[in-house]
A and B are shown apart, each in its own frame.
Chain A
């Protein structure tokens, strides 16, 4: 608990930055837009319709979509000397801002439209211009309705900001994503409670401002504005401080959304700090392709991927995979040639997709190989992580073994293992290094036809890092072959089953490494 709470100031500050930036942008975009729409009745259905459509996009998808969209924009403006980051703060703020538009826009239109026509006529009759009528009569009278929209947006934005973690923006969602992956429910709870508390606090602040304005109480207005400005100043100050304290010296390490990645990112960070004295920063819980795109564009410097993933997803190779060394060489050569990305080393273990079953079940059905499994598959149910069933490996398994299950279900990777253990499904797309395989007495079904490509864990370095920081590359290359399968499984189990922190496990590994060499 104390360990989780120590992370709170950082996560909370980032969350506050995201929420405040999105809300301020949202208000300054939506209120003028709402005024404009309320002046042009013909636009109303079109603009409100567009905002509603935007709102129906699931928030997680909207956030994820911002990454390629911003990458496209970034490529477009790069020629103008403008550098845009397509992961992290920017895509999250853009998506959250869009998400806040509808409630504020709709309430602005409704609020202005709801002003008594007699008052509009009176405002014109006393000689107000359109602008004066808006500022002195319509907006003040629509204020309670507009503020209600802002309050709705506040709660939405603070809640949705927890989903900014997979696009690389730190938020209270970091607690939730990593907590779910590492079965640390204290972390999930801390993140959820903190997000809820922040939503309530900001909502209360907006309400205080509203009461002050409507009740014409200068004290309430001043208090609300004072607190609001202080929060903005704090969030803005922290933002400036964090973005100016990276004088190019800091190495950014990415991690995807599972336990092994959390541990490995800490190992890489510790290794780099120990060997080069450079500062490091870990951006965790990135989506799988988000991580690769971020490395390619240099927004992260280093992360661990798997040769088979690059082979299948990035190189889009089909057909029979070559042996482990050949795939590794193919990947190394391709990454260097196509993207300038350096393959610093292979860590020494494979984390492959492997079909896993309960041990007793496999023995009872006489399943040892996937060929055996194909015979009984029509009676069985398979569970896979979100991407498994659309990946090339699954298509190849289906085609080469004629695998047909009674039913297939995509689910969160963290829940797959519980599902097979609880007999909710019979087969899962396990990761071969997962600590839970041994812990739950699961067995891996052998890929007897060699369909699944090798998944060597490889450390990738961005083009910039490869070119400008040879010392970092050297420090990482020395990790080559230092982690075998058993060691990785043990480390994963230490986090998933024994509840130890990834950073702690990584530290123990680095100490062993130092004393061993």
Chain B
């Protein structure tokens, strides 16, 4: 579904993304994993051309993404990010319907779509439709953000640490909601995170990036079984080690 070939971004003589080659199959969720500054966000934004690649190619559904005007490309690709960026001067419904209205959908179709999407992200349309974004919790905002990203029925969804700023419980809810939605819609998702647990929970495959280069890509099981180097091995071991520490604390504490 998505094909990145020799993708490179250079800022001030430095390659922040360096000759990246990746493929994402239709319906797959690929996690781009790495510490901050590794080039994962830049890579994601080159897919919908929020950032123009210095060189290399991006193909989506077999079509050259660089041959389409950026704004038209982005209307066909859902995009969500940590700050959400709901427009404060628009109601929830207006936010969700932005892309459909840019595409010139009929008002009736937009209204129906907004209600369906709010249901999908588990917000009661009657209650939330006309609210101002300022009157939403962080988790609700992110739900609306995802509804907005999905509004124009995209086949591809790009998410840049969407749950990074949420409390663990809310994050857990939203991760489960995302899994359901993607299964229901058959979405192809590229998901950027630096959180190893999230990567393991959500990813069909995980691509580990370091200094703008791809270190290893594979299923979580494959990465656990055959890490490409010591760095990947340590990264993959982290969740299990933390879980063991937590277990030990709970057993030893006695009064928990």
| Structural contact, A137 and B71, CB atoms closer than 8 A | no
A124 on the B face (CB < 8 A) = yes
Q: Which residues of chain B come closer than 8 Å to A128, judged between CB atoms?
A: 71, 98, 102
Q: Which residues of chain B come closer than 8 Å to A129, judged between CB atoms?
A: 71
A141 on the B face (CB < 8 A) = yes
B79 on the A face (CB < 8 A) = yes
CA distance A249 to B74 in the complex (A): 66
| Structural contact, B50 and A124, CB atoms closer than 8 A | yes
B85 on the A face (CB < 8 A) = yes
A127 on the B face (CB < 8 A) = yes
A140 on the B face (CB < 8 A) = yes
| Structural contact, B98 and A141, CB atoms closer than 8 A | no
Query: Min CB distance, A183 to chain B, in Å?
Result: 55
Interface residues on B, range: 20 to 34
Residue of B50, B72, B88, B89 with most chain A CB atoms under a 10 A cut-off? B89
B48 on the A face (CB < 8 A) = yes
| Structural contact, B71 and A125, CB atoms closer than 8 A | no
| Structural contact, B102 and A125, CB atoms closer than 8 A | no
Partner of A127, one of B75, B84, B85: B75
| Structural contact, A119 and B85, CB atoms closer than 8 A | yes
| Structural contact, B72 and A137, CB atoms closer than 8 A | no
CA distance A67 to B172 in the complex (A): 72
Query: Min CB distance, B159 to chain A, in Å?
Result: 11
Binding site for B on A (CB under 8 A): 116, 118-119, 121-129, 132, 136-137, 140-141, 214
| Structural contact, A127 and B71, CB atoms closer than 8 A | yes
Partner of B88, one of A123, A124, A136, A141: A141
Q: Which residues of chain A come closer than 8 Å to B98, judged between CB atoms?
A: 126, 128, 136
| Structural contact, B74 and A127, CB atoms closer than 8 A | yes
Q: Which residues of chain A come closer than 8 Å to B75, judged between CB atoms?
A: 126-127
Q: Which B188-228 residues sit within 8 Å CB-CB of chain A?
A: none
| Structural contact, A126 and B102, CB atoms closer than 8 A | yes
Q: Which residues of chain A come closer than 8 Å to B84, judged between CB atoms?
A: 118, 122
Partner of A125, one of B48, B76, B88, B89: B48
- Interface 1/0 per residue, B96-114 and A, CB below 8 Å: 0011001100000000000
Query: Min CB distance, B135 to chain A, in Å?
Result: 15
Partner of A126, one of B70, B89, B99: B99
Counting from the closest, the 5 A-B pairs by CB-CB distance are: A122-B85, A127-B75, A118-B83, A125-B79, A127-B74
Binding site for A on B (CB under 8 A): 48, 50, 70-76, 79-81, 83-89, 98-99, 102-103, 148-149, 152
Q: Which residues of chain B come closer than 8 Å to A141, judged between CB atoms?
A: 87-89
| Structural contact, B86 and A124, CB atoms closer than 8 A | no
CA distance A163 to B80 in the complex (A): 56
Q: Which residues of chain B come closer than 8 Å to A214, judged between CB atoms?
A: 89
Query: Min CB distance, A197 to chain B, in Å?
Result: 33
Partner of A137, one of B70, B80, B87: B87
Q: Closest residue of chain B to A124, judged by CB?
A: B50
CA distance A140 to B148 in the complex (A): 20
Extra contacts besides A123-B87, A125-B74, A132-B102 (7): CB < 8 Å: A116-B85, A122-B87, A124-B74, A125-B81, A127-B73, A127-B75, A141-B88
CA distance A125 to B44 in the complex (A): 12
Query: Min CB distance, A128 to chain B, in Å?
Result: 6
Q: Closest residue of chain B to A132, judged by CB?
A: B102
Q: Which residues of chain A come closer than 8 Å to B89, judged between CB atoms?
A: 140-141, 214
CA distance A122 to B146 in the complex (A): 12
Q: Closest residue of chain B to A127, judged by CB?
A: B75
13 residue pairs A–B, Cβ–Cβ below 8 Å: A116-B85, A119-B87, A122-B81, A123-B85, A124-B71, A126-B74, A126-B98, A126-B102, A127-B73, A127-B75, A132-B71, A132-B102, A141-B87
Query: Min CB distance, B78 to chain A, in Å?
Result: 9
CA distance A465 to B152 in the complex (A): 73
Q: Closest residue of chain B to A140, judged by CB?
A: B89
Contact of A122 with B86 at beta-carbon distance under 8 Å, contacts A127-B99, A132-B102 already known = yes
CA distance A126 to B79 in the complex (A): 7
Q: Which residues of chain A come closer than 8 Å to B81, judged between CB atoms?
A: 118, 121-122, 125
| Structural contact, B102 and A127, CB atoms closer than 8 A | yes
| Structural contact, A126 and B88, CB atoms closer than 8 A | no
Q: Closest residue of chain A to B94, judged by CB?
A: A136
| Structural contact, A125 and B85, CB atoms closer than 8 A | yes
CA distance A137 to B74 in the complex (A): 17
Q: Which residues of chain B come closer than 8 Å to A137, judged between CB atoms?
A: 87
Residue of A121, A127, A132, A137 with most chain B CB atoms under a 10 A cut-off? A127
Query: Min CB distance, A200 to chain B, in Å?
Result: 28
Residue of A119, A125, A132, A214 with most chain B CB atoms under a 10 A cut-off? A125
Q: Which residues of chain A come closer than 8 Å to B76, judged between CB atoms?
A: 127
Query: Min CB distance, B143 to chain A, in Å?
Result: 15
CA distance A481 to B80 in the complex (A): 90
| Structural contact, B72 and A126, CB atoms closer than 8 A | no
CA distance A140 to B73 in the complex (A): 25
